[in-house]
Copies of this chain bind each other. A is one copy, B any other.
Amino acid sequence: MRCEWASSPFLLDREDMRDTMKLFMEPESVAIIGATRKNGPGTYNLVENMLRFGYRGKVFPVNPQADEILGLRAYSSIRDIGQAVDLTVINLPRDLVLKGIRECAAVGVRAVIVVGQGFADADKTGQTLQSEMVSIAKESGMRILGPNTLGVLNAFHPFTTSFMPLSREAAPVGVICQSGIFFVGAGRFSGMMGKGIDVGNACDIGFNEALSYLGDDPDTRVIAIHMEGLSHGREFVALAARVSRKKPVVIFKTGRSEAGARAAASHSGTIAGSYRVYQAALTQAGCTLITEDSKMRDAVRALLLLPPMRGNRVAVITVTGAGGIITTDALERYGLTLASLSSKTLAPVSELSPPWMPLGNPLDIWPAVMKHGMQKVYPPALKALLDDPAVDAVLCINVALNLPDYAFLDVSEALNQAVSGDKPVVVWLYGENSQGIGEKIEKEGKIIPFQTLEGAAWALSALRERQAYLEKISGS
């Protein structure tokens, strides 16, 4: 088979591509060239971290100065291992990397991760080293992930090449990124991560290979991408369009500003500018594009956990008129509208409200709550909104006091009982126990609490955009 190069999956057989990526993501055996003899915190010992993460395959540390590393036999060279190895990780200073690559090529290694920095992300010498690395690999049919990467993480088939300690959670979110920050700081970005591919400088394996793998991966239901530079953009757009038919693809392109683009060029050695060309195309391809760091998590959680939003009409149920107004501003900013609520829908609240209370959307239930108590008002009010065919999603604004005595204001149970899963429901809480009540609500996995009203409105808009795309392509 002739191996077409660098991020051109469409020239490759897809089966073959999947087999290649499996070597990186689910290797049965792994060699580590440059495995350190030291271990413990601060040594960033890859082998130690891999074992700690739960890897159960064969591990071959390579270090000519060691006989044994962490109880494993150490080899002085990859040539000495004497058996085929699925994946080789090279963790050497940049001056030694080419030698390592050549040795890998010599023994027929097919998949290599180059961890270290100092290549296209650094100086001219580094650029040259990276080019040479690619040439050697190309000749031998070997594929390279990196350099300048934490490598991969797979919580399903426990494996990681990260030298930073990571926790393992088999979450159906796959991450493709150009920095370890998205592995270590997953909580800040994708929120959760079950599989991760850090393409680093993307000298060979790039966004196309990674997206192709996660797109076909049955463990992955949402894909979150951090992108500094994009090469082979045309192919990427076509691939994203294919993948996004099956699962949401969220893209956080950074280096959008002029200064940011310059910084990106020196961080991962990639060209940021070309993305602008593909921006509209990616939206048309059904991807969710984000521009602020806080929004990836909001979008990923909504797309993963909430049912489709079949129109753009939102009902807001609130214990505070002011909160309803803040929400209305945010919804309008994101292209959503307030549902027109029929008198039938308003009936359960209007029966319990003082006669002077003007009811509409946002639906302010507070006067009714003052008269009849939260537990009598909330469940029928919410049910009526969910039953209304003119409502496509419900946004709930609830108070969360940090006083055990005030548990009667806590509607998390009523909320979880009312939600059947055919319309998205999101919650925003205020008060000192927002986190506690939020966790209680989220535990059931049916409703998502958001930190900000802005975030909740944005997440609903991402959900709506996604559904509109699916409707468009299915011609409905």
Interface of A toward B, CB cutoff 8 Å: 40-42, 44, 94, 117-118, 121-123, 125-126, 164-165, 167, 177-182, 184-185, 187-188, 226, 228, 254-260, 263-264, 266-268, 291-294, 320-326, 328-333, 337-338, 354, 356-358, 360, 362, 364, 366-367, 370, 373, 399, 401-403, 405-406, 408, 430-432, 434, 451-455
Contact = CB atoms under 8 A, between A and B. Distances in A.
A257 B333 contact: yes
A360 to B, nearest CB: 7
B259 A328 contact: yes
Nearest to A292: B454
Contacts of A358: 121-123, 266
Most buried by B among A256, A291, A328, A401: A328
Contact of A322 (B182, B292, B325, B329): B182
A324 B263 contact: yes
A257 B329 contact: yes
Given A42-B373, A118-B356, 20 more contacts: A41-B403, A41-B408, A42-B406, A117-B366, A165-B403, A177-B322, A178-B322, A181-B322, A181-B323, A184-B431, A185-B431, A187-B432, A259-B328, A259-B337, A266-B360, A291-B329, A293-B326, A293-B330, A293-B454, A294-B452
Contacts of A267: 321-322, 324-325, 364
B180 A326 contact: no
Contacts of A320: 179-181
Contact of A188 (B182, B258, B366, B430): B430
B401 A165 contact: yes
A329 B290 CA distance: 13
A270 to B, nearest CB: 11
A449 to B, nearest CB: 12
Nearest to A188: B430
Contacts of A431: 184-185, 187
21 contacts: A117-B366, A118-B357, A121-B321, A122-B358, A165-B403, A165-B406, A167-B432, A178-B322, A179-B322, A188-B430, A188-B434, A228-B322, A257-B329, A259-B332, A259-B337, A266-B358, A293-B452, A293-B453, A293-B454, A294-B454, A294-B455
B367 A228 contact: no
Contacts of A357: 117-118, 122
A260 B294 contact: no
A367 B117 contact: yes
A260 B325 CA distance: 5
A179 B430 CA distance: 13
Contacts of A167: 402, 432
A269 to B, nearest CB: 10
Given A181-B430, A257-B333, A431-B185, A322 B226 contact: yes
A125 to B, nearest CB: 6
Contacts of A291: 329
Given A259-B328, A321-B268, A332-B257, A184 B123 contact: no
A434 B326 contact: no
B405 A41 contact: yes
Contacts of A266: 321, 358, 360
Contacts of A122: 356-358
A335 to B, nearest CB: 11
Nearest to A180: B320
Nearest to A433: B187
